[in-house]
Structure 1
Amino acid sequence: MDKIILSYCRVSTTEQSTDGAGLENQQYANNQAIERLQKLERYKRLDDIVEIGSAFKGNNLTSIIENAKAGTYPKGSMIVMFDQTRFSRTNFLDSANRMKELLDTGVNIHFSTSNETITSEKLVDFGGFVSMLAKAEAANKESKSRSDRTLTSYANKIAKGEIVAVGKLPNWIRKNYDTSGSKPRIVGFEIIPDRKEVLEAIFDKYINGEGATSITAWLNKNVEPWPEFDHKRKDKANRVWRESYVTKILVNPAAIGVDFP
């Protein structure tokens, strides 16, 4: 079984993901590192993993660690990430433990900014482990500082009466920007007209007694799938409406609202 190599990137906001801020830099550095590593050893490259959300508050590496533990990634495989802040979470010991948890499976970690590869062997001696803890603590402090700066920025915008968008919007809503200044500013939101029609058709059919399977078949026959569906597929001709998505729409609070007592 071939050893694999993959690029892991994390950005804190949807804007960084869609507009390229932060994400493009990570992807460029990771791609450069992967090219260097593939010249030294034979790896099979897997699709990139890109996650949106603060690693300081969330658990962004669970799927990678679980795959490594399950043997999905052969020993000697490589996870390439921008720097150690990709691991940072609630405290530096937790960050170090999560890193050790991955390394203990025999999968290695490469930081593209420092061109440094971390292996389980490097943690055997006391000095190596202390060095990792020190770097984990520094990474955690940096993530905490970034999180605090973001919260302060949001608070400042709210105080000025500006619109603040946090998290990912439903894919039938888009932001409106004021581009008259030096930096685009969000001034509102709007429902995308053609997607509104699709949502209304889905619910009309559901109200009339059709199930998700029937609705999905109708969509695939009559409505062009939205471009973001299956964006990782190499064969774009396979982009289709999926029953799982239709089911999510029918129970999504963003579409049907939320009842409060």
Structure 2
Amino acid sequence: MMKKMFKVEDIAASSKRKLRVAAYARVSTNSDDQLVSLKAQKEHYESYIKLNPEWEFAGLYYDEGLSGTKKDNRTGLLDMIADAEQGKIDFILTKSISRFARNTTDCLEMVRRLIDVGVFIQFEKENINTGSMESELMLSILSGLAESESVSISQNSKWAIQKHFINGTFIISYPPYGYINADGKMKVVPEEAEIVRTIFNEYINGKGAFLIAKELNERGIPSKRGTIWHPSTVQGVLKNEKYTGDVIFQKTYTDSNFNRHINYGEENQYLLENHHEAIISHEDFDKAQHVMEQRGLEKGVLKKKANTKSGMYSPAK
């Protein structure tokens, strides 16, 4: 049998694999302008990577409408790191440290995880390539600055939101079941409003949340998210003061570590009366709260209630 001969350089050329390059993009809100920005980033990176003959496009990972302060909230970023650890990515491009992470600890942790599997990151704005770094000092300093910037942005955002609370101009982006958001205002959905009234009436007259949820499911009525009703879903309706036409702002708050908590009086709350059309009277709402409190006491499961008296302000009308 005749043996085949190959040049050494031909073998080397055939074994040389293109660098699999992925990109990560993030926009901090889901507003129209930011989504346009995300689309532009997608187009830029895909084109940029494919134009390099030594690179192979390994995908674009992204998150939208999310804060960069906590990596656990960003599925796109976590999916990218998982794929890198599984050997699907060799190199990563991203716009800046602040787009990648605004928390120093998270940034360094993710960079180290990627370096451990031989995957490096190019931060374009800072012109840093983690593959050529002799130490983590510069990255630590820059990510620390990004974290400080994030805290400042968060504080400014909180201030702006509280101003909207105070003057009564805050827009509820996700109204409860029974309402839709039309032109920045909550409008009643008649069919859903009737279900809300039924829930309150039946609860006040003795039915429990479990039975109400069961009957709604048997009637084939979807919940707000289009899924089945649970007892907790029914209780969520019964506890929501928005059905009276009033709104209490700042029921939750974010601490200095960007963790969200129920507001038990740690922060001011703001009551805006007659904010929108009511579905339930104040009288029926109060009756439902009384029934819920009595049943909670009987079962011994009454939970700590948010402090709605201390620090409660009525916005200017």
Shared fold, TM over 0.5? yes
Give distance in 1, aligned partners of 2:121 and 2:190: 45
Deviation at 1:159, TM superposition (A): 2.1
Correspondences of 1:243-258 after superposition (within 5 Å):
246-247=227-228, 251-252=232-233, 256-258=237-239
Of 186, 189, 203, 1:189 maps to 186
For 1:132, the equivalent position in structure 2 comes to 139
Deviation at 1:74, TM superposition (A): 1.4
Number of residue pairs the alignment of both structures matches:
208
Deviation at 1:142, TM superposition (A): 1.5
Residues 1:100 and 2:112 are matched in the alignment: yes
Pairwise CA RMSD: 4.4
Deviation at 1:20, TM superposition (A): 1.6
Cα contact 1:3–1:75 (8 A) shared by 2: yes
For 1:146, the equivalent position in structure 2 comes to 153
Shift in CA distance, 156/35, structure 1 to aligned 2, threshold 3 Å: same
For 1:122, the equivalent position in structure 2 comes to 132
SS in 1 for 2:72: coil
Of 169, 175, 192, 2:181 maps to 175
Shift in CA distance, 7/93, structure 1 to aligned 2, threshold 3 Å: closer
Shift in CA distance, 245/143, structure 1 to aligned 2, threshold 3 Å: same
**Could you tell me the TM-score, scaled by structure 2's length?**
0.49
Residues 1:207 and 2:220 are matched in the alignment: no
Residues 1:56 and 2:69 are matched in the alignment: yes
Give distance in 2, aligned partners of 1:155 and 1:205: 36
For 2:26, the equivalent position in structure 1 comes to 9
Residues 1:42 and 2:53 are matched in the alignment: no
Give distance in 1, aligned partners of 2:160 and 2:153: 11
Query: What is the identity percentage for the equivalent residue pairs of Structure 1 and Structure 2?
Result: 14
Deviation at 1:176, TM superposition (A): 3.7
Deviation per CA, 1:66-120: give whole Å up to 9, x if none.
Answer: 6634644514053x5442113434x524433333334433444344x6395734x
Give distance in 2, aligned partners of 1:170 and 1:99: 41
Shift in CA distance, 66/193, structure 1 to aligned 2, threshold 3 Å: same
Deviation per CA, 1:138-174: give whole Å up to 9, x if none.
Answer: 21121111111101101222222322447x5569754
Larger Rg: 2
Give distance in 1, aligned partners of 2:126 and 2:59: 18
Shift in CA distance, 154/255, structure 1 to aligned 2, threshold 3 Å: same
Shift in CA distance, 5/205, structure 1 to aligned 2, threshold 3 Å: same
Deviation at 1:207, TM superposition (A): 0.8
**Structure 1 residue identity aligned to 2:112:** K
For 1:228, the equivalent position in structure 2 comes to none
SS in 2 for 1:50: strand
Give distance in 2, aligned partners of 1:171 and 1:209: 15
Of 150, 153, 162, 1:155 maps to 162
More off after superposition, 52-61 vs 35-44: 52-61
Deviation at 1:10, TM superposition (A): 3.4
For 2:81, the equivalent position in structure 1 comes to 68
Cα contact 1:69–1:105 (8 A) shared by 2: no
For 1:229, the equivalent position in structure 2 comes to none
Give distance in 1, aligned partners of 2:118 and 2:190: 50
Which structure ranks higher in relative contact order (CA pairs < 8 Å, sequence separation ≥ 6)? 1
Give distance in 2, aligned partners of 1:103 and 1:173: 49
Give distance in 2, aligned partners of 1:99 and 1:170: 41
Give distance in 1, aligned partners of 2:33 and 2:100: 20
Mark the runs of 5 or more structure 1 residues left unpaired by the alignment: 178-185, 220-243
SS in 2 for 1:122: coil
